[in-house]
Amino acid sequence: MARLFILGAGTPTPTPTRFGSAYVLEIEGEKIMFDCGPATTHKLVKAGLWPTDIDYIFFTHHHFDHDIDYPCFLLTRFDQ
């Protein structure tokens, strides 16, 4: 069964409940992350996932609200 984690589905301007784009789709044990917007790494951990759990990442496009947390995400994968 597939599971979808919605980590952020907002706009470039954050609100208390919405951030930039970030989703994780889990299918047959593999986790695919779509986009890596603001605070994605923090929201991954808050959802019970770790950056090292992510098997693939896909960027829908390269606007900052879709990829600004990518450096943080990469660094935390190596600092485990």
Domain range for 59 = 3-8+20-78
Average pLDDT value for residue range 8-13: 82
Catalytic, 65? Answer yes
**Global confidence as pTM:** 0.89
The DSSP secondary-structure symbol of 44 reads H
Catalytic residue among 65, 67, 69, 79: 65
pLDDT tens track for 27-65: 999 999 999 999 999 999 999 999 999 999 999 999 999
Integer Cα distance of 1 and 63 in angstroms: 31
Integer Cα distance of 74 and 43 in angstroms: 15
Number of domains in the chain: 1
71 in any annotated domain:
yes
Integer Cα distance of 70 and 29 in angstroms: 22
